[in-house]
Structures are given as structure tokens and as C-alpha cells.
Structure 1
Amino acid sequence: MPSTSHTSAGHGAHPPVPQEASADAGLLSRLSLRFTAWAERWFPDAFVFAAIAVVVVAGAALLNGSSPQAVAKSFGDGFWSLIVFTMQMALVAIGGYVVATSPPAARLIRKLAALPVSGRQAIAYVAAISMILSLFNWGISLIFSALYVRALAGRLDLRMDYRAGGAAAYLGMGATWALGLSSSAAQLQANASSLPKSILDITGVIPFSQTIFLWQSVAMALVLMVVSVAIALWSAPDAEHAVTAQDLGVDLTEAKPVAPESAERRPGEWFERSPLLTLLLCALGFGWLAQEFMAKSPLIAISGLNTYNLLFFMIGLLLHWRPRSFLDAVSSAVPSTAGVIIQFPLYGAIAAMLTGAKGGAGITLSDRVAHLFVSISSVDSFAVVMGAYSAVLGFFIPSGGGKWIIEAPYVMQAANDLKVHLGWAVQVYNAAEALPNLINPFWMLPLLGVLSLKARDIVGFTFLQLLVHAPLVLFMLWAFGRTLSYVAPVMP
């Protein structure tokens, strides 16, 4: 793992950046850098946004006619309703981190780092790898891509703009992650046991074949990947104007092991250093996974979050080989899950207040919002209206999928009322949810910590991506949505 002596979680001070770099930047990049400098000063922690959302929804429920007792009861009833899903999503992040930091992954990174022949080409490589990995696991995408950027930055013969490289490494989270297996909304909708009853009663179970594996969804992901790589390539400063890691004062040296191999060890540590337990655990884990995939369709098997997480847990354990290496990686990964652990209970409480705190006429906030969207939308405009709304809300409630719990009750009720394809309604959310990630610093934190950068160092480049992605995504959601027909909910 990289040394963090230079900064802490990407919040250290950098030496002055060469003036000619910013002077030669494009107009959009200069404006976005000013915006992110403002955002870094005034943007509160993501938990604050979730807490504000709780207060706003509670106040709205009271205005809707709900009694204070009903609002408080809904808040408490919903607070722990996502405890299983919270743990599952935390393990997605941990599993991805563990795999990305394994010794084989480090060797692969070194080989990939030798491929590019120019700084701009290197940034295109980073962008492509980040987005491909994000389709399988957003945790792997963030950490592997960040480590790849550090390896590229260590090449003295390659002048790569370190900030643009960091922005390219974030494109998986900002463009494609929710359109693949990483999509917590699609995972949630495919698992009846994980869905809150308030949502299950509206949507039923929606398999992957009706969400992320629709040909329309695959086509949208491919378009976004091609466009994003092109923007990353063309917007990166050339070698003459590149701001390198050395210019920024980033320490690229690797941290030294806590205990060298030659150090004297206690006999009790033998199992930690031996691969014996790894082999036994992997035999059990992969044995179960083999039975699971033979007994079910692969799409159904991998759609189970428990199966998905066990697969990455076992792969990570095997790649680290020795339990001590695996445990060290897990310990390093845990801080990146703090936002998930502390925010998801609030999302559960919000969903419960939306659907459970009834007003005087027995109408909930979810009913009212769904009616509003039905009144201003049609089958033809649903994707654009809901996509724009979800993207805007995402600026204020950063989420790796937990926001779906808030939106699903009224979004999916509106989709049912308008007879919109329910799987595509999930994909509308998925595609739109990635947009605010391009400038919202919440999910940047793990990546920034590895790169020793600040959010403002990369958001100028990701903002440029957002300017292109927003209209492109909304257009594709509308165009592809017109090719799909409504399918009634399938109840478990």
C-alpha cells in the first residue's frame, strides 16, 4: 500500500502548481476548478446531507397530516430495516479493496504500467480499466485504478498529468458502475430477502435479465465507456503542460512492511503466516459456490448479494495467500465503509417515513410524490423526468445505491401507474445516479486517500465529463426506453 505520510485521506497541502498549467487549461476546466475550490470550502460531510434529508422528510410528513407519534414510529421502525443490506454493501467495498491490493494485482499493475507510451495514452488506459472493473465491483475499480495511477506516475520517462489520471481512475464510479454487477439497486431488486416490504409490494422481484442485462443497458454502458475514454484522452494536458505527482509533491514511495520477513515471530503466529487455513477455507467456499452455480442459472446465482460477496471474499483470500496479508488488507479497507455504515440506517428511516407515516386521509408522502410524477410525466417522458430528478437529488444525498431505498417507493409506483417497464425504471435510476458522483466528493474519498490528492485536484476534469454525460445519458434513457414494454410485477 502507498505511504500516507504526505497527506491524510487526500486532505494535505500541496506545493504551488506551476502557473502555466492552469493558464493553458480550457475554459471549462478553469471554471470547474473554481467551482470545486468553492465546494471544498462550503460542501459539508455527506452524513449531514442524509441527516438533513431525514429532517426534511419528517417535516413534510407532518405537513402531510401525519401525527408526531406516527412519524417517530416510522423513523424507528425503518432505522434498522436495512441492516442486512448495509452489511452486504460494506462487504462489497471491503471485497473489492482486498482483491485490488493483493500481490497478484500489484504485479498486474506493474505490467500494465509499462504499456502506455505517452501521458495522454496512460490516462486513456486508466479510464478504460476503471470503467471495465466497475461493472464487476466498484471497490476494485476505485482502489485498483488509484494504484495503477500511482504506478504510472512513478515512471520517470512518462509525463502524465497526475490530476487527470486521478479523474480517469474515478470514471468507473462516475460513469458505469451502476450499470453492472456493482449496481446495488439491481442487486436489491433481484433479492426478495433484501428488499424492504414497502418496496417489494410495489415492484415484486426484478431479475438481472430485466435490468443490467437488457441489451439497451449494455449498449448504454458501451456508449458511455467510449465517450468517457475519448474525453479523458482529449482533455488531458500534454507533456509540456502536465502537472505530475512530483510537481504536486506526492510521495510515491511504498510503505515499508510493519514486520520484515526476517523478524522473529511468536509460534502463535504460524497459522497467520501459513497458507494452510487459506486453502481449507477456499476449498469450502469455492465448493459451495460451485454447487450454487450448478444448481441455478448463473445470472440468478450471481444476483444474490451473499453469493457475490462470498465470491470476492474467497478470491481475495486466495490472492493474498496468507491470512496475515488478507487481514491487513481488510483492516485497511474498513475505513472506506464508514459512510455506508452510518448513512444507510438513515436511508431506511427515510423510506419508512415516506411509505409508513400516513396522513389524515391515509395518504403517505410516497403516494403524493408518486401522484405528482404521474401528473407531470407520461410513458414517453418518464425516463427524462425521473433521470433528471434522481441526478439532482444525488448531488445532495451521495449514495452507492442506498438512495434507491428512498426513491423506489414513489418512482416504481409511478412506473406502475404509467405502465413503464419496471426494469428500465431501475436502469433510469442507475444511469442517473452515477452523474452526480462526477463532482460530489463523497465516493472520491477512498481514491483520493490512495492518491494523496484533494477533491479539487480532479473535479475540474470530472466536471467536463459531467457536461457531456448529463445530456447524453438522458437522451439514451429516453431513446432506449421507447423500445421496451411494461411487464407486470412478479411477486415472490
Structure 2
Amino acid sequence: MTNMSKNDGTAASPQLGLMARWAIGFTGWAERWYPDSFVFAALAVIVVAVADLALGAKPMEVAASFGGGFWTMIPFTMQMTIVVISGYVVATSAPVSRFVDTIAGIPKTARGAIAFVAFMSMAASFLNYALSLIFGGLLVLALARRTDLKMDYRAATGAAYLGLGATWALGLNSSAAQLQANAASLPKAISDITGVIPFSQTIGLWQSMLMALIIVIVSVAISYFSAPTGGQVRTAVDMGIDLSRPVETRKAVLRPGEWLEQSPLISVVIALLGIGFLWSEFATKDPLTAISNLNTYNLLFLIIGLLLHWRLRNFLAAVAKAVPSTGGILIQFPLYGAAAALLTGVKGGDGVTISHHLANFFVNIASADSFPVVIGIYSAILGFLVPSGGGKWIVEAPYVMQAAKDLHTHLGWAVEVYNAAEALPNLINPFWMLPLLGIVGLKARDVVGFTFTQFVFHVPVVLFLLWLLAKTLPV
């Protein structure tokens, strides 16, 4: 039996506990049977189209609605693509990398290091979920390089994913809250029901912030106590991970065009223009109103990334590395737009759309008191099939918000019900893990067991909070 280092502070265990074995078994099953997330997006379109036909809609009307809705989300698709790219660019800049190395020296024990990763990942997710993934991955690598810690690399990576699996949708880049706060991006099918809902009535509610705080505390505690110890630990070296740092070389400047790429002059001028615009926005508007505009939010992060990388060549190289992470958004969001159009724009033989049928269903089975739990469970289940906060909100919002309106529940809290529940399936769906896994060099099967452990605890906690805090809100 391998002895634990002094830093771990616990006795070695001969084998994995029951919950860990169960989680790892589930991971193996999911890796074998779970298809690509695009399959689920395509299936959602097919299911809704078939339902329209079953309700008596004409085939050509269904086809016309599909084509008409396919490109309706292009502005929002581009905005969410820039969210991912800007987060990656900021996280991979040299100053942020040095900062990561510095804070990696804070934890004193292996378990403490994993809990620290969880906290930092979730803290970053309140600003930018892509930043959370990249920052968390870099922090895991930095901690893994410490020779004085015998840290489980899998558990640390699972902790780095908690920003996406626990808190991101309660922060500034919540897709649903951003969409509801932006009149220009809000589809008519939703705006006709809800109108614009500002941040102050969604993520800015004290109930939402309290829920986020409780989720962070619970998640950090689970990360600490579920971390393997003793002989159960598998370090980065045990898993064959190359922890060496890439060596950067600077090419000699031979042509005028290359001088422009290497000079910070263009970066500074562009940044000054952007800063002037941002100053005007924040000086003339309420800060929450200003930051709720996705265009302003994205420009802020792009300007920060441009300044942190300093030279255009470095900035463009970071953008190029970030682009592959956006493929799922670019190809799947049009399908979500088509699904939303099929839900809300096609009338059956009775002259009623699917969204109205669903709204009536929720009104019939839910009361104002049970609405948060019913919709929370539904949103979490649908999240397994459609792993996209923004795309799924486009699909759900027309009938969910109609039901909330009919039941006279707080519309802003209905958005937060969606936000909190939507994050739950991310804990066991590998779609959003891909950027993180690319950094740390692991596969989803190595990590999902630990995030599934979080999932088991999160479900009852989140649903209870959604129900309890709803009672403190005005109708």
C-alpha cells in the first residue's frame, strides 16, 4: 500500500468507495452510449416537426417554418461565439498565466488544492464561462507541476469544470438573462410574452445571489471531501500527462507587415477607441444595464485580451486557438432557432401551436408554489438533450414564460429557475468539457465520475432553493 504524503493528511485507502465506483461506472456507460450533442439538436428539430404534423399542420408549412427560423439566431450565435473566444484570449495571455502560477502556490494540501480549483473556477464563471474553463485548466496544470502535492489530476479537472456545471448561468454571461435583457436579440416569440427583463430582475436579485453563494459553498465542500486520497490518487504523471511548458520563439522581423504585427501600436490605438466607447457606456448608463448588452460585454473582454497580449500576432494566435471551441455553437444554434420557430410559429389543425399546448400542460400540472420545482426538473432533463443555455432558452422560453405569466409567478425568477436548473446536466454532459479537456489532456470518462458526484448533491439542493426563495418574491 502506498503511503500518503504528509500534505494529504489522511490515511491511504485500499480501494475506491462505493459512490466513486458507481460514478466511474456511469462515466464508462455515458462514454460508450452518449452521441455527439449535435445529434440531440437535430433530434429536437425532428421531434418538434413530427409533433407539428401529428397535430394537423401542413407539411409545407412545417418546412417553411424550419427554413424561416433557421437563421433567426445569427446575431445571438455570433455574440455567444465571441463570448467563448474572448474568454479564451484573456485566460491564455501571459499576465494571466503568471497570475495563475502565483496563486497555484496558495494551497497547502492536495485536497485543499482541489477545493481551491473549484472555488476559482466558479468565481471566474460569474464573469465569463469560457474564461472559467480555460483559467481552471491552466490552474490545474500549474498545481500539477508542484512536486510537494500529490493531487488527484482527475478530481482537480472535475473541480475546474464546476464553473460550467454549477454557477455560470447565475453570472454576467447567463445566456437566458442576457437574451431577456437585450431587446435587439430577443426573438419576437419571446418578447411578445415577457418584454425585456433587466438584469436587476434576474441575476441581480438578492435571491439569485444568495442561491449562487450557497451553491459555491456546497460545491467546494464536495470537491474537498470527494477527492481521492492515498493509493486512490492518480496524479498527472501517473496518467502520462506532459506538464512541460511550450517554448515560445519570436521570429525575426523581416518585412514591414511583420513589424506591424509585432508592434503594440495598433493594439493600443484600437484599445483606446474601445475604452472611449466603454467609458461613455458606463458613464451614461447604470452599470448593470451597460454590461447586460452582449455587444458591450464582448467588446470589454476583447479589449482586455488585446491589451494583455499586447502584440497583434500574439492576440491573433490566441484567437485562432480559441475558434475550434466554438464549432458546436456555430452549427447547432441555427437548429435551435429552427426548433423555436416550429414550436411557436406552426399551428396545428386546432389553430394552436405546440408552445401553447405545452404552456397549458404546465399550467395544469403546476401551481404558483410548485412551478419552480416542476420547471426546474423539466429544464434539467431537457438540458441532457440540448446542452446549450442560449439555444435551449430559445426553445423553452415561449411556453415556459407563458406558463409563468399565466400562473402569475415572478418572470425574472422564472429565468433564474431556468438558469440554475440548466447548469445541472452540464455536470454529466461532456459537450462543454471539450475546451477544458483539451488543455489538461484528459478524456471525459476520466472526469465525469467526479462531476456526477456533484450532480447527485446539486439536484436536491438547487430544487429546494428554487422553491424556497420563490416564496420571498412578489408576484
Could you tell me the TM-score, scaled by structure 2's length?
Answer: 0.96
Once residues 411 and 223 of structure 1 are traced to their aligned partners in structure 2, the CA distance between those partners, rounded to angstroms, is 26
* Deviation (angstroms), 1:484: 1.1
* Deviation (angstroms), 1:35: 1.0
Once residues 190 and 342 of structure 1 are traced to their aligned partners in structure 2, the CA distance between those partners, rounded to angstroms, is 24
* Deviation (angstroms), 1:110: 0.6
Aligned to 1:417: 406
Choose which of 462, 467, 489 in structure 1 pairs with 2:451.
462
Choose which of 450, 466, 469 in structure 1 pairs with 2:439.
450
Aligned to 1:302: 291
* Deviation (angstroms), 1:23: 5.8
Aligned to 2:247: 256
Choose which of 240, 257, 264 in structure 2 pairs with 1:275.
264
* Deviation (angstroms), 1:102: 0.4
C-alpha distance 228-449 of structure 1, shift in aligned 2 (>3 A): same
C-alpha distance 408-262 of structure 1, shift in aligned 2 (>3 A): closer
Verify the 8 A CA contact 1:160 1:239 in the aligned structure 2.
no
Once residues 71 and 125 of structure 2 are traced to their aligned partners in structure 1, the CA distance between those partners, rounded to angstroms, is 28
Choose which of 143, 156, 173 in structure 1 pairs with 2:147.
156
* Deviation (angstroms), 1:40: 0.8
How do residues 147-226 of structure 1 correspond to structure 2 at under 5 angstroms? 147-226=138-217
Verify the 8 A CA contact 1:344 1:402 in the aligned structure 2.
yes
Aligned to 2:323: 334
Choose which of 128, 138, 143 in structure 1 pairs with 2:134.
143
1:45 aligns with 2:36: yes
Counterpart code for 1:124:
A
Counterpart code for 1:458:
V
* Deviation (angstroms), 1:241: 3.0
Aligned to 2:338: 349
Cα deviation digits, residues 446-478 of structure 1 (max 9, x gap):
100111001111111111100100000000000
Aligned to 1:103: 94
C-alpha distance 116-72 of structure 1, shift in aligned 2 (>3 A): same
Counterpart of 1:401 in 2: which secondary structure? helix
* Deviation (angstroms), 1:324: 0.6
Cα deviation digits, residues 83-107 of structure 1 (max 9, x gap):
0000000000000000000010010
Verify the 8 A CA contact 1:119 1:239 in the aligned structure 2.
no
* Deviation (angstroms), 1:396: 1.3
1:27 aligns with 2:6: no
* Deviation (angstroms), 1:256: 2.9
Verify the 8 A CA contact 1:21 1:243 in the aligned structure 2.
no
Aligned to 1:94: 85
RMSD across aligned C-alpha pairs, in angstroms?
Answer: 1.3
* Deviation (angstroms), 1:240: 4.5
Deviates more, 1:26-35 or 1:195-204: 26-35
* Deviation (angstroms), 1:109: 0.6
Aligned to 2:108: 117
1:364 aligns with 2:353: yes
Cα deviation digits, residues 365-391 of structure 1 (max 9, x gap):
000000000000000000000000000
Verify the 8 A CA contact 1:85 1:194 in the aligned structure 2.
yes
Cα deviation digits, residues 214-261 of structure 1 (max 9, x gap):
00000000000000000000110125431100000011112233xx22
Once residues 58 and 269 of structure 1 are traced to their aligned partners in structure 2, the CA distance between those partners, rounded to angstroms, is 53
Unaligned runs of 5+ in 2: 1-10
How do residues 356-435 of structure 1 correspond to structure 2 at under 5 angstroms? 356-435=345-424
Once residues 473 and 64 of structure 1 are traced to their aligned partners in structure 2, the CA distance between those partners, rounded to angstroms, is 35
Unaligned runs of 5+ in 1: 1-19, 487-492
Aligned to 2:228: 237
* Deviation (angstroms), 1:266: 2.8
* Deviation (angstroms), 1:262: 5.7
Once residues 265 and 121 of structure 1 are traced to their aligned partners in structure 2, the CA distance between those partners, rounded to angstroms, is 49
Cα deviation digits, residues 244-300 of structure 1 (max 9, x gap):
00000011112233xx22645333200111110111001000000000111111110
Once residues 463 and 81 of structure 1 are traced to their aligned partners in structure 2, the CA distance between those partners, rounded to angstroms, is 35
Verify the 8 A CA contact 1:351 1:406 in the aligned structure 2.
yes
Cα deviation digits, residues 425-461 of structure 1 (max 9, x gap):
0000000000000000000011001110011111111
Once residues 22 and 403 of structure 1 are traced to their aligned partners in structure 2, the CA distance between those partners, rounded to angstroms, is 43
Once residues 265 and 228 of structure 2 are traced to their aligned partners in structure 1, the CA distance between those partners, rounded to angstroms, is 49
Verify the 8 A CA contact 1:57 1:350 in the aligned structure 2.
yes
4+ residue segments displaced more than 4 Å: 20-23
What is the count of residue pairs matched by the alignment? 465
Counterpart code for 2:358:
V
Verify the 8 A CA contact 2:15 2:232 in the aligned structure 1.
yes
Once residues 461 and 265 of structure 1 are traced to their aligned partners in structure 2, the CA distance between those partners, rounded to angstroms, is 51
Once residues 142 and 50 of structure 2 are traced to their aligned partners in structure 1, the CA distance between those partners, rounded to angstroms, is 50
Counterpart of 1:420 in 2: which secondary structure? coil
Verify the 8 A CA contact 1:97 1:329 in the aligned structure 2.
yes
Could you tell me the TM-score, scaled by structure 1's length?
Answer: 0.93
Once residues 218 and 113 of structure 1 are traced to their aligned partners in structure 2, the CA distance between those partners, rounded to angstroms, is 27
Verify the 8 A CA contact 2:178 2:293 in the aligned structure 1.
yes
* Deviation (angstroms), 1:64: 1.3
Once residues 221 and 143 of structure 1 are traced to their aligned partners in structure 2, the CA distance between those partners, rounded to angstroms, is 21
